[in-house]
Amino acid sequence: MLVASCGGASPPPAAPAAPETLEARYRAPVDRVAAASREADFAWRWLEALCGGIGHRLSGSESLERAVTWAEGELSTIDGARVELQPVEVERWVRGEESLVLLGEPDEPLAMIGLGNSAGTGETPVEADVVVVGSLEELAARGDEVRGKVVLFDAAMPAYDPESMSTGYGDLVGLRIGGPAAAGAAGAVAVLLRSITADPDSPPHTGMTRYEEGGPRIPAAAITIPDAERLHRMIDDGQTVRVRLAMGARLEGTATSHNVIAELEGSERPGEVVVFGGHIDSWDVGQGCHDDGAGVVSAMAALRLIGELGLRPRRTVRVVLWTNEENGLAGARAYAAEHGASARHVAGVESDIGAAPVIALSVEHPDEARGPAALARLEEITRLLAPLGVTRAVDGHSGADLSPLRELGMPGVGMVHDPAHYFDLHHTAADTIDAVDRDAFLQGVAAMTATVYILADMETPLGE
């Protein structure tokens, strides 16, 4: 038995050591990641191979499955990685030939692109007068005016606000997704949509539309900003605007696609997983670089860098290259159904907003009570990433492919690439590798690698 000497009092117990800060633990690894990413020529070669070599990758297409095979092969070269393909049944939508003509003396062809999953016109093109509306509410208010007409949704997307990082896309995308169904229900015979972009020089933008079960399926296409404004002015001036729309779009049943999954096992908590990635499919125009080849390759490169740098986080890091994000989210749902309960997903990270530099991280926690703690921890991580140019942490959307896992309780983190010009290219023929800045892309690789590593290694999971 120990007793105090000389009758004195026992010394007070030592204060517990202060917990190690993220800055102290991860500054050196983040600096290593930043240096290695700047020299990651393999990542740029991967982007060239995916986008320039394979090109666009529509769900159900042979080109998408070539991309799946390619990604599986490259991920299999990472030492220690376990790689698998998860089969996913997807709807096969085919665009077919399409055209739009402004009828007059003479007739004038207009640039257009059919919306994804749109119905076609069949063997006989649609020919009808155009009526302009600015919103779904105005459509409902116009009543019988739209019956038998082609509805032109002409709503302008506002200029990008760098302070709020608001693009205005979320306010307008409902016109594309639900506008054709609503117009069909009102008796319209087709829809034209002013492309959802603020860039008047941008080519027409495609993107998914959705019909109501059992409701009318009318053809729908997007046109350029200048053409939408011109048709609108002509109608305001009292002219009758009549168009002829031909679309060979059709559904051809289903096809088997695949999620590509690769992981490095955690050193201490292998049953806890940080999942990260992007979607490997794209629309059938351009090369799908900003949407979402850059996100896909950034995730692949992050897994390789974590392995090559010997970082070995506590938790398992798992790349998922989701299929069918653009027109169905079948890949995300299939992954959550098969893997969501087989491991504890402590966080998800998604990159799906282009290849510009990452300027912020967004967090979306399904438990509102834990949201503030998750945001505070993300702010700590952004301080580590500040030398890369990542300076903000915000509450916000983390990514569509993470949504089924968020419904199971997983917090999501979005890589917020500078969105100032993303919607100039989004879903267009202009989304090619020529529009990607190499240094900006590699900065995104560094930001994703560092974020994933910290989330997978820090003692307490995000938001706990």
**Percentage of the residues of the chain whose pLDDT score is greater than 90:** 92
pLDDT greater than 80 at residue 55:
yes
Please pick, among 272, 325, 326, 364, the residue that the annotation labels catalytic.
325
* Residues 299 and 420 reside in one and the same domain: yes
- Mean pLDDT (whole number) for 148-159: 96
pLDDT category at 225 given cuts 50, 70, 90 is: very high
Residue that is last in its domain, among 202, 217, 248 = 248
**In DSSP terms, which residues pair with 57 in a beta bridge?**
none
Can you tell me the mean pLDDT for 124-128?
Answer: 98
**Residue at 17 is within a domain:** no
Asked if residue 223 and residue 121 are part of one domain, the reply reads: yes
290: domain CATH number is 3.40.630.10
At 6 the pLDDT is: 40
Same domain, 172 and 210: yes
Mean pLDDT of 174-199: 97
Cis check: omega of the bond before 292, within 30 degrees of 0: yes
What is the per-residue pLDDT across 73-105, written as a single tens digit (0 to 9) for each?
999 999 999 999 999 999 999 999 999 999 999
* Domain termination site, one of 225, 248, 271: 248
Residues 389 and 345 in one domain: yes
Active site annotation includes 325: yes
- Say what the pTM is: 0.93
Whether 293 and 307 map to the same domain: the answer is yes
Q: What is the pLDDT of residue 8?
A: 44
pLDDT in tens, 247-259: 999 999 999 999 9
Residue 11: inside a domain: no
State the pLDDT confidence band at 12, using cuts at 50, 70 and 90: low
Question: Are 210 and 135 in a shared domain?
Answer: yes
Residue 242: count of CB within 10 angstroms of its CB? 15
CATH number of the domain within which 137 lies: 3.50.30.30
101 & 167 share domain: yes
Between 342 and 323, the higher pLDDT residue? 323
Whether pLDDT at 189 is above 50: yes
The dihedrals phi and psi of 425, each to the nearest 5 degrees, come to -110, -25
Domain boundary among 179, 213, 248: 248
Q: Are 364 and 411 in contact (CB under 8 A)?
A: yes
Does 271 score more than 50 pLDDT?
yes
- Kindly state whether residue 206 falls inside one of the protein's structural domains: yes
Asked if residue 265 has pLDDT above 50, the reply is yes
Q: Which residues pair with 109 in a beta bridge?
A: 101
Span 15-43, mean pLDDT?
87
- Please compute the mean of the pLDDT values over residues 393-410 and round it to a whole number: 96
My answer on whether 258 and 224 are in the same domain is: no
Give yes or no: residues 368 and 434 share one domain. Answer: yes
Average of per-residue pLDDT across 380-400: 96
Instruction: Note the pLDDT of residue 11.
Output: 55
Top pLDDT among 11 and 156 is at 156
Mean pLDDT (whole number) for 343-355: 97
The domain containing residue 176 runs over which residues?
Answer: 96-248
Instruction: Report the chain's mean pLDDT, rounded to a whole number.
Output: 95
pLDDT of 14 strictly over 80: no
Please tell me whether residues 341 and 239 are part of one structural domain.
no
- End-to-end alpha carbon distance in the chain: 41
Give the tens place of pLDDT for each residue, 406-462.
Answer: 999 999 999 999 999 999 999 999 999 999 999 999 999 999 999 999 999 999 999
Look at residue 391 and tell me whether its pLDDT is greater than 60: yes
- The 3-state secondary structure of the chain reads CCCCHHHCCCCCCCCCCCCCCHHHHHHHHHHHHHHHHHCCHHHHHHHHHHHHHHCCCCCCCHHHHHHHHHHHHHHCCCCCCEEEEEEEEEEEEECCCEEEEECCCCCEEECEEECECCECCCCCCEEEEEEEECCHHHHHHHHHHHCCCEEEECCCCCCCECCCCECCHHHHHHHHHHHHHHHHHCCCCEEEEECCCCCCCCCCCCCECCCCCCCCCCEEEEECHHHHHHHHHHHHCCCCCEEEEEECCEEEEEEEEEEEEEEECCCCEEEEEEEEEEECCCCCCCCCHHHHHHHHHHHHHHHHHHHHCCCCCCEEEEEEEECCCCCCCHHHHHHHHHHCCCCEEEEEEECCCCCCCEEEEEEECCCHHHHHHHHHHHHHHHHHHHHHCCCEEEECCCCHHHHHHHCCCCCEEEEEECCCCHHHHCCCCCCCHHHCCHHHHHHHHHHHHHHHHHHHHCCCCCCC
Please give the pLDDT value at position 463: 86
Residues 209 and 235 in one domain: yes
pLDDT for residue 371: 93
The pLDDT tens digits for 279-321 are 999 999 999 999 999 999 999 999 999 999 999 999 999 999 9
Is 463 inside a domain boundary? Answer: no
More confident residue, 15 or 194: 194
Give the type of residue at 462.
L
Q: With 70 as the cut, is the pLDDT of residue 20 above it?
A: no
Residue found under tokens 């082609």: 150
Query: Is 436 inside a domain boundary?
Result: yes
Confidence (pLDDT) at 317: 98
How confident is the model at residue 143, as a pLDDT?
A: 87
In-domain check, residue 60: yes
Contacts of 74-78 with C-beta under 8 Å, sequence gap 24+, read: 74/46, 74/300, 75/260, 75/262, 75/300, 75/303, 75/319, 76/262, 78/262, 78/264, 78/303, 78/304, 78/307
Tell me the longest C-alpha to C-alpha distance in the chain. Answer: 113
Token readout for 375 is 């945001």
Q: Is residue 401, in this structure, part of any structural domain at all?
A: yes
Q: Taking residues 390-419, what's their average pLDDT?
A: 96
Question: Per-residue pLDDT for 71 more than 70?
Answer: yes
What is the side-by-side order of every strand in the sheet holding 269-279?
Answer: 82-94, 250-264, 315-322, 269-279, 344-350, 412-417, 358-364, 392-395
Give yes or no for residue 152 having a pLDDT over 80: yes
| Number of domains present in the structure of the chain | 2
Task: Identify whether residues 143 and 229 lie together within a single domain.
Answer: yes
